Structure 1
Amino acid sequence: MEAIAVTGEQTLQQGLNEVVMNKVQKMIDGKRVGVEATMERLINEGKIAQDYIAPLGVELKRNDHSPVITFNGEGSLTMNMPDGQFSLHANAIGQLADRMGIPQRYLRTLAGGAEWQIALAATMLNEHSGWTQRSRVLVRTVGTQVRGVLSDSYRRLNSVEILTAFVQEAAQQGAVISDAYMNDTKVWAETILPQPLVIPTAKNGDVVIFAGARFSTSDYGDGAVDMRSFLLNGACLNGMVRESVMKQVHLGSKLPDNLRLSQETYALDTKTTVSAVKDLTSGLFSKDTLMQKAYEIQGASEMEVDLNHELNRLTSNGSLLKSEGSEVQKILMRNDPEDGVQGGATLWKLTQAITAHARELTPERSRELHEISGQLMNRVKITA
């Protein structure tokens, strides 16, 4: 493989250096408001979040079919608990469906439908609840909305502390936060080193990459604490993430009925996770990691593939929607370096076409495509 130039002005032509770095800096500046809004939302929702331990289902052995938790379908699907009535987020509806053996997609469709469908969703939940063996669940709310119905062994973590630790450790490594996004159930943050790697490839020209790390987590069972290498193509701002280096499931010992008794465990679990995040973040910015990712890009550029066959496979297995596959194919046919797509029909070219299309999608789906393209890179085997 060809030698890789690692950062520094002497490794780049001055013009290319300025153009690419200015483009990336402009992107970072444009994302700043969104990054600040993400952090503010995470903090503010943390202040009004509340946890409850509640019994779901009934004591079948006692022939008692009067569940503590019931559901109402008048106007919208709600959950009735001793602490009050709460609206149900789609994420919580899906979790309830799984617990009660109801097809998740069907129940979520009913809950978001017409009045009769919402009423039917409530009836189904009440009926299933009356014949489901009682179990303790952790109900996580934000204000008057239930966002998650989780195991009573769910490890509660302080996401503000953990995300802050990630950003601070990345800064210690010389990185800057390039983007962040939060929806109702999950938060993501990406960081990059401001100086690029210039990677000469066999069949796809010189690739200018800004390397970094991505962090994500969910307080509502919509994904584990996760960290991955993050790669940003400087020419087109396509993003990609590689395999997870930390996929920490939120499961531990059973929570007590009085959650105040678990505050010490809450603080200790958070402290342990913060420590792991710091160590892993440091590792993701190490020279060895950066060189490994560079060699993987070179390997992907040497791997010729049948692009049509690959796209058919990705749409057939559900990784890409058919409409997404068609758009990726159009990008490949344009063969525009502004999309990060140039040169021969290689695995690297395919990954860049996928991430180029990701720029047009929602923040959630865009990040899913970053992961799909990163999974394709697993085919590249680098020998020491």
Structure 2
Amino acid sequence: MSLPTCARNATLRDLEAILRHQHAAKLDVVAPATAIRSERGAIVLSGVTPLLDERGVTTVDGRYVPTAAADGTIAAKLGISLRYLRRLRAERVDLFDANVNGWLHGHADNPPDPRSFLLRLFRRDDGDGVLRAMLSDSYGIIDNLDVLTAVLDGIRQADVDVEVRACDLSESAMHCKVYSPGVARLAPALLAGYRNPFSDPTLDAERRRIVTDLDDGRRAAQAEGQGYDEEPVVFAGFRFSNSEIGDGSVTLKPELFVRVCSNGLTLPALAVRKVHMSGRMEAGTVTWSRDTQNKHLAVIASQARDAVRHWLSPEFLAEQVDHVEQTAATPVTQPESTVKVVAKRLGFTDAEREGVLRHFIAGGQLTTGGLAHAITSFSQTVADPDRADALDDLALTAMTSAHRPR
């Protein structure tokens, strides 16, 4: 069974198809440390009660191969350096097993770990399953498909015309980008002199390389049909994300969207978050009642409804554009040195710094606002959806940082 786990710049229809495919394969188990062991780098479960559902009885015991994200959760829960654990997986899988098993089961004078863990799994009918995460047994499960459904329901309740412009999915999180075509505002200080950096064939090729292969041609045709709006216009938008494996929370954050180049300047300081927490769960396979799920999702839907009504309003957009434009028009007279300083402050890699500089020059707008655009256009060429989202969150911080005297 082929099980897609990642997508980049997917359509809403593509994302829904992937999430439904994943949902059918999901298995959640709370198991004591004594029922978990590492064997040749895979996690082996033994003595776990089989799952009984509408499909019949499913044996839970067996081998589950960890994803890279799952290794991160194993390291976090057992207090092992992630860098060290990754090196062991690559070079000494025997020591990987010894470290994981030693912390789980104890040795000599060290007793076994007394805890139980929530294991988020994908089951497969044709071989080993997949370990997605090893989490606390008090982690509150809120799945991507349910979050997507709840947020879309909140949008319908808000009765605002929107388009879901792009969706990303990684092993760690789901990210969706939404904007309202009917809520727009001129932003001359933010966009004056700015040109689409993807008119440069090299930069356009970088972006196209990371597009998911699901119905690639259809998406490209849609993007080409957007046309070019010569007026310096931004649209009201927002993003929402969720992690199923403990790498965050349900998050909604407003965004200023530039349609011509698909740049989005997020406003993370105004984000709304719902942390995944619940009471301690009993050992065994985990199932949630429909009533419990509905209560969680109703809260998310109502938060989305209220956020959409506020963020996708002309008044909110005007207020945010006015605020951003206070510093967006500041000239950047030394692009290379400015990008270097800002990149160091914000923890960019050398490759990210060089990429942002290329986009800054290609955008032709040598201002602090142009630097923010360079980050959000460069992020579209980053294959990792989670890192791309983090870069977008840093764009306005970079603009303020470049405006600040050095």
Shift of 1:319: 2.7
Q: What's the offset of the Cα at 1:175?
A: 0.9
The one of 118, 139, 146 aligned to 1:138: 118
Q: Which residue of 2 aligns with 1:28?
A: none
Secondary structure, aligned partner of 2:65:
strand
2:380 is equivalent to residue 359 of structure 1: yes
State the alpha-carbon separation in 1 of the partners of residues 346 and 101 from structure 2.
Answer: 33
2:273 alignment partner in structure 1: 247
Paired residue type of 2:105: G
Does residue 59 of structure 2 align to residue 37 of structure 1? no
The alpha carbon displacement at 1:324 in A equals 1.7
1-structure distance, mates of 2:191, 2:298: 46
Q: 2:233 maps to which residue?
A: 208
Partner in structure 2 of residue 347 of structure 1 = 368
- Which SS does the other structure have where 2:187 is aligned? strand
1:323 aligns with 2:351: yes
Q: Alignment partner for residue 23 of structure 2, among 24, 46, 52?
A: 46
Query: What's the counterpart of residue 341 of structure 2?
Result: 313
Would you say the 8 A contact 2:103–2:113 is kept in 1? no
Aligned to 1:177: 164
Q: Match for 2:277: what amino acid?
A: L
Are the equivalent residues in 1 in contact too, given 2:190–2:370 (CA < 8 A)? no
Q: Cα distance, 1:310 vs. partner?
A: 4.2
Aligned to 1:275: 302
Shift of 1:154: 1.0
Deviation at 1:307, TM superposition (A): 4.5
Question: How many angstroms does 1:318 deviate by?
Answer: 5.6
2:303 is equivalent to residue 256 of structure 1: no
- For 1:224 and 1:377, locate their aligned partners in 2 and report how far apart those are by CA, in whole Å: 27
**Structure 2 vs 1, CA of residues 79 and 303 (structure 1 numbering), >3 Å: closer, same or farther?**
farther
Summarize the Cα distance change of 1:99–1:38 in structure 2 as closer, same or farther, 3 Å threshold.
Answer: same
In structure 1, the partner of 2:37 is 70
Change beyond 3 A, Cα 1:261–1:194: closer
Quote the Cα distance in structure 1 between the aligned partners of 2:9 and 2:287.
39
Alpha-carbon distance, 1:312 to partner: 2.6
Shift of 1:259: 5.8
Question: 133-142 or 250-259, which moves further after superposition?
Answer: 250-259
Aligned to 1:289: 316
2:87 is the counterpart of 1:109? yes
Q: 2:309, 2:190 → 1: CA distance?
A: 30
Computed over aligned residues only, the root mean square deviation of the Cα atoms, in angstroms, reads 2.8
Match of 2:255 among 227, 230, 240: 230
1:229 positional shift = 1.2
Q: CA deviation at 1:140?
A: 0.8
Identify if the C-alpha distance between structure 1 residues 276 and 380 changes in structure 2 by more than 3 Å, giving closer, same or farther.
farther
Return the TM-score normalized by structure 1: 0.77
Structure 1: how far apart are the matches of 2:35 and 2:78? 15
Separation in 2, partners of 1:110, 1:301: 47
Distance 1:165 1:68, change over 3 A: closer
User: Whole-Å Cα distance in 2 between the matches of residues 245 and 378 of structure 1?
Assistant: 19
Deviations 1:241-287 (A, max 9, x none): 21152122101322233566752434422332232222223222123
2:398 is the counterpart of 1:376 = yes
What is the letter of the counterpart of residue 264 of structure 2? G
The residue matched to 1:359 in structure 2 has which SS? helix
Give the percent of matched residue pairs that are identical in Structure 1 and Structure 2.
20
* Residues 326 and 229 of structure 1: CA distance in aligned 2, closer, same or farther (over 3 Å): same
The code of the aligned residue for 1:265 comes to: T
Q: For 2:316 and 2:370, locate their aligned partners in 1 and report how far apart those are by CA, in whole Å.
A: 22
- Counting matched residue pairs gives 329
Question: How many Å apart are 1:225 and its aligned residue?
Answer: 0.6
Alignment partner, residue 96 of structure 2: 121
After superposition, the C-alpha distances for 1:142-190 in whole angstroms (9 at most, x for unaligned) are 2221101111111122432321232344353111111112223311111
- Any gaps of 5 or more consecutive residues in structure 2? 1-7, 48-59, 107-111, 124-128, 194-230
SS in 1 for 2:374: helix
Report the TM-score, using the length of structure 2 for normalisation: 0.73
Partner of 2:101, secondary structure, is helix
Look up the match of 2:212: none
Give the whole-Å Cα distance in 2 for the aligned partners of 1:191 and 1:203: 20
Closer, same or farther in 2 for the Cα pair 1:173/1:203, shift >3 Å?
Answer: closer
CA contact (8 A) 2:342 2:401 kept: no
Query: Which residue identity does 1:177 align to in structure 2?
Result: V
2:52 paired residue number:
none
Greater relative contact order: 1 or 2 (C-alpha under 8 angstroms, separation 6 or more)?
2
